[in-house]
Amino acid sequence: MMMMNNPTMLSYIRREQSVLNQILDAYPDQTGAALAQAPTDTTHWLILTTASSLNAAQSARFYMEKVADVQVEVQDAQLYANYARVNPNVDTVIGISLSGQDPSTLAAVQKVKTESNAYTIAMTAQKDSALTTLTDVTFDILTGKETIPYITLSYNAIVLSLMFLGLRSAVDRQLMPTLAANQELDEFGLLIEHINETIQRSNDYYRKFTIDFGLAQQFTAIGSNIVAGTLAEMQTKFTEIVRVPTHGYTLADFTHGGYLGAHETHRQFYIELNTQKAAIMQQLQAVKAYESHLTPHIYTISFTGEQPAINDGQTLQLHQVDDPLKAPLLAIIPFQVLAWFIAKAKGINLNHPIFTNFQDAIKIPTNVTE
């Protein structure tokens, strides 16, 4: 694993292409080994994790469900450990903790193991950890430890690793011929090869709107359900890093009430995809057109490969993604880049977290039970 001197969030963003290529190269052996003893009649997967890893799991979920023909349930580990009933239909469990030490994830996985015979996988960046001793097998996401508080590289490594588990399960269970699986891997490879370009275009986009982003007092991102995990992670990252009120809405949630918070200084991002349901993008365009009467600060991140319907110069056109279920791999990157540069311009030192006494002051352990 490459070591960096004084790494920053941007350092890790710039490593995403190389590390995801490593995960791609390791796919035949690593993913195969993770599922070698998995049940062949699997129908219901459960992913247990917290924080940004939860957003990453939501980003991979729809691809996993489609390709592997399984139900994928994503649960917050703390809520699951304290309140959930173990579904007897769950046959495969993936516990995700980058450190392998998160007490909520450990408790949730232990709960499933105690009450079921489910096959368990630890997904982590630390192969020697408490989580890996608890599960049947370990999936190493190959990132090593991110030494900054706000993960970026590990986020996308989790997304890709989960998608690969779904793909390999489909192959192992003969739901997909090897040729089709290789075509999927080629498509993933093409997306990965466009990560550095995505970073650079996002960098240029920030420089174009540096002043407007820096003056923002509120950000919102809006997109289809396919990018629900991306929207949740955008909310997480901007809140943590830019430190202004931020929300990520699915289109349905925004149209059912989120729009009521719009105002003239509101900065809004719209994620455009080549969805299989044209009506969704038509509605997104209608919402964007309506909101443009309320605020001029409308920004679009497009993966459609098409020229914007309204050529306002505020569209970030990125690599065309034909399979929208794979789009989350690229969709989060602009928000990672923008968060970094906006925070840097604000003079926020991300290596020195604020409110360092917060956990001590509230005296609530991470595995609290009511």
* DSSP structure string for 268-309: EEEEE---S-HHHHHHHHHHHHHHTTT-S-EEEEE-S-S--S
Q: Which of 274, 276, 231, 238 is nearest to 252 (CA)?
A: 231
Largest CA distance in the chain: 58
Q: Reply yes or no on whether the pLDDT at 5 is more than 80.
A: no
- In the chain, the domains with their CATH numbers are 9-193 (3.40.50.10490), 196-345 (3.40.50.10490)
Residue 353: pLDDT band (50, 70, 90) is confident
- In this structure, which amino acid lies at residue 28? P
SS3 of the chain: helix, strand, coil, percent, to 5: 50, 15, 35
Residue 278: pLDDT band (50, 70, 90) is confident
Residue 355: per-residue pLDDT = 83
Cα separation of 280 and 263, whole Å?
Answer: 24
User: Which two structure tokens, joined as six digits, stand for 88?
Assistant: 């007897």
Q: For the segment 6-21, what is each residue's pLDDT rounded down to a tens digit?
A: 789 999 999 999 999 9
Query: How large is the average pLDDT for residues 115-138?
Result: 97
- Least confident interval from 2-6, 238-242, 347-351, 364-368: 364-368
Mean pLDDT estimate for the chain = 94
Q: For the segment 290-343, what is each residue's pLDDT rounded down to a tens digit?
A: 999 999 999 999 999 988 776 678 999 999 999 999 999 999 999 999 999 999
Cα separation of 341 and 112, whole Å?
Answer: 42
* pTM attached to this predicted model: 0.94
Residue 123: per-residue pLDDT = 98
Q: Reply yes or no on whether the pLDDT at 368 is more than 70.
A: no
Q: Reply yes or no on whether the pLDDT at 3 is more than 90.
A: no
The answer to whether the Cα torsion of 251, 343, 267, 270 is positive or negative is negative
Q: For the segment 212-239, what is each residue's pLDDT rounded down to a tens digit?
A: 999 999 999 999 999 999 999 999 999 9
Q: Reply yes or no on whether the pLDDT at 186 is more than 60.
A: yes
Q: Reply yes or no on whether the pLDDT at 366 is more than 60.
A: no
Counting residues of the chain whose pLDDT is more than 90, the rounded percentage is 87
Give the three-class secondary structure for 46. Answer: strand
Residue 69: pLDDT band (50, 70, 90) is very high
Query: How large is the average pLDDT for residues 41-65?
Result: 98
User: Which two structure tokens, joined as six digits, stand for 331?
Assistant: 């969709």
Residue 363: pLDDT band (50, 70, 90) is confident
Cα separation of 261 and 250, whole Å?
Answer: 15
Q: Reply yes or no on whether the pLDDT at 112 is more than 90.
A: yes
Residues belonging to the chain: 370
